[in-house]
Structure 1
Amino acid sequence: MSFWWFLLLSVIKIAVVLIILLTAVAYTVLLERKVVGRIQNRWGPSRVGPFGLLQPLADGIKLFLKEDLIPTSVYKPLFIISPIIALACALISISVVPFGKEITYKGVDLFNIANVNIGLLVILGVTSVGVYGIALSGWSSNNKYSLLGALRSSAQLISYELALGLALVGVVLRTGSLNLNKIVDLQAAHGLLSWNFFGGFQFVAFFIYLMAAYAETNRAPFDLPEAESELTAGYHTEYSSMKFAMFFMAEYANMITVSCVATLLFFGGWSSPFGSLFPSFGPVLDALLPVLWFVLKVFLFLFLYIWVRGTLPRFRYDQLMSFGWKFLLPLAIANIVVTSFWLGLRAPLQ
């Protein structure tokens, strides 16, 4: 395959994934407003387009047309670059996620932008850098509420990043790889009985991951960095127009990434819950069905995110830190010990 074919197909893949991701971000916002509206016994957006389906477009146009205000006392270079860092990290992390079976055309995998051996580490590393956008935005805003929100976010990320990373060690021990494609392939043999959540007995690790992921993405009940009742809007108090929209997009893109990782590591990724129970449906359907399974699982995780926001109250900050350090972290370490012991006992039998 020539370099130009590789470059062309790679650019097309990146463009398609970016368009789908940004569209998904817009309609995840609509889904959240609709679902929370129903939970609170109201309609949610219903005026713009049929059933309110054009509301994300109207919101986008409004944010583009709003005046971009920059307070006089801010440190301008960091104030401007902070939302760019947050959004860039949120978009880059999706590049190593495999969306379907490995199907190649002219040597290029169609359903994966970058298949790297340390894909899981890449996601953890890139998402960790995203907190710099929040921290710098709070400091550069020269606003006490923004600074408090940024400090909370930094402390929250450090606290829960440990538990999140340790929760994934059990999956890595079981699969023996950091390659996301290999992790999914090892869960695809016997349907849901092969998934790490069921067959791998990693349900404790999953719940640790889920709790830590809520805190990492600053979502309820761990949305302390932007607690409206305490900090006005937290780290993005001074932002308006598209800079505010970029923080908003980064938050929802991170939600989608977290849902993708949970699907890949614990619920078989693109694999069917029925395994090889059903025969082949032809080459086209065999290529598209895994993508549909993947999208369905990610959608269920996003729905869970929204459901939790609509039903659980916000933690106090001392409760948040205590929960991370005194409960999740020891539980994650215990899960690694038990998983290692279990794998060690099984090893001679294989």
Structure 2
Amino acid sequence: MSVGYLASDSLLGYVLAALVHIALIINIVAVGALVFIWLERKISGRIQDRLGPTRVGGKFGWLQTLADGLKLITKEDLMPAGADGLLFKIAPYVSFCAAIAAYLAIPFAGGDHPFAALRVNSGIFFVLAVLGLEVFGTILAGYSSASKWSLFGAMREAAQVVSYEVPIGMCAVVPVLLVGSLDLVYIGDMQAGLFTNWLVFNDPFTFIAFWVYFTCALASVNRAPFDLAEAESELVAGFHTEYSGLRWSFFFMAEYGSMFSVSLLAAILFLGGWNGPLPVTEWLGLTGEVGTLSWYLGSLIGAANLIGKATFGVCVMMWIRWTLPRLRIDQVMATCLKYCTPIAATMFLGAVLWQYNLPHRNFFGLSDRPAATYAVSEGWELEKAKAEQEKALLEQDIEGAEQSENLDETVESRTAEAVVKTVALRGGN
């Protein structure tokens, strides 16, 4: 539910509703970071043929991350002697705020009243722009630490994030092209029905664009094999070498929060969003009026679908980290400039041509979509017909205005002639 739906007509109600959403988002990021840290430890243990956490919180180590968090809180907060105090202190919070601000525009369920703090018409660009601000915290941390290793790590991440924003943006525009809207809620609702309606299966170009997006997302959130900003073998610990205690944990939470947000965005753009592989909510009739029990159940099922897809994406990122070796900085930049950017541009043009030549068929060769969705081509035809109708009305208005102007000129000329004749007659008399 959006802020506007929860809030009353008063300013106080709106502010309270906004504070509730902010508290929920902060808790989602913080608790999600705890869960993902534990999950990564278990995944890395499985890949390396070991058990991982097994002692704190039962045999599965459920409370190991919480214990580590308490240890970080109690650690001494150190700052180098030559560091810029103000910038050094605010850098972790800049990264963390950018990571959580992206969740403001991410909907967790669709419909007229989506589960989102804010419904932004240009939600895709809002999320990508806010996530791009996270690098400012890294730059501040590297600059203010008075350490060459921190500065080198910050410079690496700045170059990497700025470079990979280009192919990410082009891949994100492909679903926008197919749907005709920047609204994440509308994009998710357009993929209702069977999994064949997911945009990743719309055409081969969108399918490849999804994998290019995921690859570039790894680089944008500084995950292996693109984690050059904190390469231990070269830069000690990278941009956060001089950080300790609670401030260091904010960088950690920002990283895992960004991983989850880019996975959520990938799920909405390409993998059906909150729609499952089968339209279970439609079959069970969980699409009632807003505020009813069936509506709440349907929205919760949709949110569970979206969170499950995003969690799977995060697990794939962890799997890649513990499988592939770290690249060199020249290889990272070459991957972006020589491969990801040209491929993303080609996929964008290919999706345009596919949509123009085969607007009624997707990757499976299906020509019709369920009644729950609207075919993209039909939307384009409606928009075209609407534009032609508006053009015809505009031409009629222009023609009518010209006729009216001609009529006015005729009346004025005849009136002038009558005045001249009247004056002439009076002069003759």
Q: TM-score range by the shorter chain?
A: over 0.9
Question: In the alignment, which residue of structure 2 is the partner of 1:291?
Answer: 303
User: Counterpart amino acid of 1:31?
Assistant: L
| Bigger mean CA deviation after superposition, 41-50 or 250-259 | 41-50
1:6 paired residue number: 14
**Offset of 1:179 from its aligned partner?**
0.7
Q: Decide which of 118, 125, 146 is 1:121's aligned counterpart.
A: 125
Task: Using structure 2 for the length normalisation, give the TM-score.
Answer: 0.77
Following TM superposition, by how much is the alpha carbon of 1:283 offset from its aligned partner in structure 2, in angstroms? 4.0
Distance (Å, rounded) in 1 between the aligned partners of 2:265 and 2:177: 16
- The answer to which of 206-215 and 42-51 deviates more is 42-51
* Structure 1: distance between partners of 2:46 and 2:163: 33
- Report how far residue 172 of structure 1 moved: 1.0
Native 8 Å contact 2:168 2:216 kept in 1: yes
Contact 1:192 1:199 in 2 (8 A): no
- After the TM superposition, which residues 1-350 of structure 1 pair with which residues of structure 2 at under 5 Å, given as runs? 1-3=8-10, 4-50=12-58, 51-102=60-111, 104=113, 109=114, 111-188=115-192, 190-201=193-204, 202-275=206-279, 278-280=283-285, 282-346=294-358, 350=378
Q: Is the 8 A contact 2:44 2:319 kept in 1?
A: yes
Deviation at 1:284, TM superposition (A): 4.1
- Cα distance in 1, alignment partners of residues 178 and 234 from structure 2: 43
Letter in 1 for 2:62: L
For 2:177 and 2:110, locate their aligned partners in 1 and report how far apart those are by CA, in whole Å.
Answer: 23
TM-score of the aligned structures, taking structure 1 as reference length? 0.94
Give the equivalent residue in structure 1 for 2:417.
Answer: none
Q: CA deviation at 1:231?
A: 0.6
> CA–CA distance in 2 between the matches of 1:280 and 1:38?
41
- For the residues of structure 1 that align with 2:23 and 2:231, how far apart are their CA atoms? 35
CA RMSD of aligned residues (A): 1.7
Larger radius of gyration: 2
- Supply the distance in 2 between the matched residues of 1:16 and 1:161 (Cα, whole angstroms): 28
Q: In percent, how many aligned pairs have the same letter?
A: 40
Q: Secondary structure at the match of 2:325?
A: coil
- Deviation track 1:144-203 (CA, whole Å, cap 9, x = no partner) reads 111110111011112211111111121111111111001101111x32111111135411
Checking the alignment, whether the CA contact within 8 Å between 1:103 and 1:287 is kept in structure 2 is no
The amino acid of 2:348's aligned partner reads I
Q: CA deviation at 1:270?
A: 0.6
Please give the secondary structure, in 1, of the residue aligned with 2:199: coil
Once residues 179 and 286 of structure 1 are traced to their aligned partners in structure 2, the CA distance between those partners, rounded to angstroms, is: 21
Give the distance between the partners of 1:165 and 1:60, measured in 2 at CA. Answer: 35
Gaps spanning 5+ residues in structure 1: where? none
Q: 1:13 to 1:102 in 2, by over 3 A?
A: farther
Matched residue SS, 1:311: coil
The count of aligned residue pairs is 344
CA distance in structure 2 between the aligned counterparts of 1:128 and 1:101, rounded to whole angstroms: 25
Render the CA deviation track for 1:267-316: whole Å, top value 9, x for unaligned: 01111211367332544432321111111111111110111111111111
Per-residue deviation, residues 209-242 of structure 1 (Å, max 9, x unmatched)? 0110000011001111100111110000011111
Aligned residues of 2:203 and 2:354 also touching (Cα < 8 A): no
- Once residues 154 and 84 of structure 1 are traced to their aligned partners in structure 2, the CA distance between those partners, rounded to angstroms, is 17
Q: Flag the 1:289–1:200 CA change in 2: closer, same or farther, 3 A.
A: farther
Higher relative contact order (CA 8 A, sep 6+): 1
Answer whether contact 2:124 2:172 (CA < 8 A) is retained: no
Q: Quick check: 2:142–2:239 contact (8 Å CA) kept in 1?
A: yes
8 Å Cα contact 1:194-1:200 kept in structure 2: no
Alpha-carbon distance in 1 for matches of 2:201, 2:313 = 17
Report SS of the residue matched to 2:327: coil
Cα distance between partner residues in 2 of 1:75 and 1:90:
23
Higher mean alpha-carbon deviation, 202-211 vs 9-18, is at 9-18
* Structure 2 unpaired stretches of 5+: 1-7, 287-293, 361-376, 379-429
Contact 1:174 1:200 in 2 (8 A): no
Give me the whole-angstrom Cα distance separating, in 1, the residues matched to 2:171 and 2:303. Answer: 26
